[in-house]
A and B are shown apart, each in its own frame.
Chain A
Amino acid sequence: MELANIMDSQTTGNAVVFNGVSVMLDGVIILDEISAIAPCGGSTAIIGPNGAGKTTLLLALLGQLPYTGHIQILCGAVGRRPRLGYVPQRLAFDRALPMTVIEFMVMGKQRLPLWFGTRQPYRNRAMDLLSAVKADGLVSRKLGALSGGELQRVLLALALEQEPDLLILDEPASGVDFQGEHIFCELLEQLRHERGFTQLMVSHDLATVAHHATHVICLNRKVAAAGPPQEVLTRKNLATIFGIHMGLVDAGSIPENGRPECASCWEKTFHA
């Protein structure tokens, strides 16, 4: 019940506020006057069809793109800048680079050059984080030799190393198999409860969103709808945003109150 109390204290207020955010690239409007929020301590999902500007919104939030309007990140302790953790969709990196997972975990914190190896305190901390994402077995593997799912978990560990107030994930489950996606969803939810960060993720899988998100922003260049999943993920809304061929979730199966089943978590529910 202690966890529930922590969650309650954090769900008051907004972690992120987008206010009239527009992005224009080469004369094309990618995002048009986006106003939306992500509640503190919650799990906000940004959904929308391809080309809706989901990743663009995240990049604007990360300060990687010029935009008009205002983006405020309000979560975190008073008196310091909010800390961000970022898990990119597909890490574009050079797989031929000889770098071990432990070096990858340590390079953002340890100042002493890696030529002299990794230091015990940093190594211990990295091991704790890798265990938290169930990737401790990967510690001496080469980064370039990891599978999509393994890399995703290591990237999550790297993001957690920041002790983030806000964890930003861009389609974290893309390129991961069904089983991997299921594990990743569960893991994120568990970590969020343990560590109390606010989660903001782009997702393409409506079923997963329906089950794991506490707040949904439907994006299609503009905000098409926003709110709790059971209010937003209606058949009418989804048909408007995705067209009639959505086929990913039967919106009619979403109960009026309470959380719908997640397709990738179905297995677990079944066994329970």
Chain B
Amino acid sequence: MPDLTPIFHFVSVILPFECLKPEFMQQALIGLMLLAPMASAMGVQVVNFRMAFFSDAISHSAFAGVALGLIFDADPHLTMPIFGLLVGIGIMAVQRHSTLSSDTVIGVFFSGVVAFGLAVVSRDRTVARDVQRFLYGDILTIGQADILCLMALFVALILFQVWGYNRMLYVGLNPVLAEAHQVRVAAYQYSFAALLSLIVIFSVWAVGVLLVTAMLIVPAAAARNFARSAGSMFWWALLVSLTSAVIGLILSAQDWAHTATGATIILISFAWFILSTAVTRMRRQEQ
């Protein structure tokens, strides 16, 4: 495994905060710097596709992922992403071929997956206590292997976004129109669902099941308010998510705060969102 220590050291040089001295904080920061842009870039499309509920269902499949790990005696770091991926692709397939409305399809999957996870996990007292970790997330325990996974995912995501951002906007705007105009809608939808599932599962480790959707949605929602074009929406989402991640991590580590990192990050991006609504209101008054 390649040694990532130089990168961690670099972080403590450019951000000379006292709280960033321990290596676990540096790892957490690197993890967030990888995760936040991914989540926000995907979030832009999650908002366009109205898939907030979809990402919620994936995040809750984390419980079932842990449960499967227990049953097959496998590492949850492996079973969670694999199971999340299957659920994501499964929902997309049912959604595309079913006449039921998409929130019904997702709702059905959602409850099935959560019930399965809780049923298995509740049998085991020690693991049941561990479930709390997934509810609130724990970025501070992120390891080097996780960071390497995130880096690989980061590369895949950049390739996907560079190749598909414009076409994804097309599909998000109206899939029938996009398909009539030679956009391969199904291919984009499935690859998007797959990538999103993986990012959601990784985000569960960072901010927890309860706040994953916020990590995707809030920067994108703020970006919609700030941006005046579909291109700049992407940069705004990136700005909001990265600043929230860094500020949130540092604030949460202060002695006077001592709050959960995930929750603090989301609070900062929520503040961004409030600011963005004020900006839109001011713009409207100008017109």
Contacts and interface: CB of A to CB of B under 8 A. Distances in A.
B180 A106 contact: no
Nearest to A63: B179
Contacts, number: 103
A71 B163 CA distance: 33
Interface in B137-179: 161-163, 165-167, 169-170, 172-174, 176-179
B170 A108 contact: yes
Of the listed residues B162, B176, B179, B182, the one surrounded by the most CB atoms of chain A closer than 10 A to its CB is B176
B48 interface: yes
B185 to A, nearest CB: 10
Contacts of A88: 174, 176-177
Given A26-B99, A98-B224, A98-B230, A93 B166 contact: no
B177 A107 contact: no
Of the listed residues A84, A93, A97, the one surrounded by the most CB atoms of chain B closer than 10 A to its CB is A97
A92 B174 CA distance: 7
B229 interface: yes
Contacts of B50: 94
Contact of B166 (A86, A108, A142): A108
A115 interface: yes
B170 A98 contact: no
A234 B172 CA distance: 44
A25 B98 CA distance: 12
B71 to A, nearest CB: 38
Contacts of A83: 182
B182 A162 contact: yes
A115 B163 CA distance: 12
B131 interface: no
Interface in B195-231: 224, 227-231
A113 B224 contact: no
Nearest to B235: A115
Contact size range, A = 35 or more
B234 interface: yes
A84 B231 CA distance: 27
Given A63-B179, A117-B231, A111 B163 contact: yes
A99 B230 contact: yes
B167 A108 contact: yes
Contacts of B234: 113-115
Interface in A49-101: 59, 62-64, 83-86, 88, 91-94, 96-100
A91 B174 contact: yes
Contact size range, B = 20 to 34
A168 B180 contact: yes
A118 B235 CA distance: 15
Contacts of B178: 108
A243 B178 CA distance: 37
B257 to A, nearest CB: 34
Contacts of B232: 98, 115
B177 A91 contact: yes
A112 B173 CA distance: 18
Contact of A100 (B166, B179, B224, B230): B230
B159 to A, nearest CB: 12
B180 A86 contact: yes
Contact of B48 (A94, A112, A162): A94
B125 interface: no
B181 interface: yes
B29 interface: no
Contact of B230 (A26, A59, A114): A114
A123 to B, nearest CB: 13
B173 A100 contact: no
Interface string A99-137: 110011011101111111110000000000000000000
B165 A115 contact: yes
A37 interface: no
A85 B166 contact: no
Pairs of residues from A and B, 6 with the lowest C-beta to C-beta distance, nearest first: A86-B180, A114-B231, A113-B165, A99-B230, A107-B166, A115-B234
27 contacts: A86-B180, A88-B174, A88-B176, A91-B174, A93-B173, A93-B174, A94-B172, A97-B173, A97-B230, A98-B224, A98-B227, A98-B232, A99-B229, A99-B230, A103-B169, A103-B231, A107-B166, A108-B170, A111-B163, A112-B166, A113-B165, A113-B231, A114-B165, A114-B229, A115-B165, A158-B181, A168-B180
Given A86-B176, A86-B177, A111-B166, 15 more contacts: A62-B176, A88-B174, A91-B174, A91-B177, A93-B173, A94-B48, A98-B227, A107-B169, A108-B167, A111-B163, A115-B165, A115-B234, A155-B177, A158-B177, A162-B181
Interface of B: 48, 50, 99, 161-163, 165-167, 169-170, 172-174, 176-183, 224, 227-235
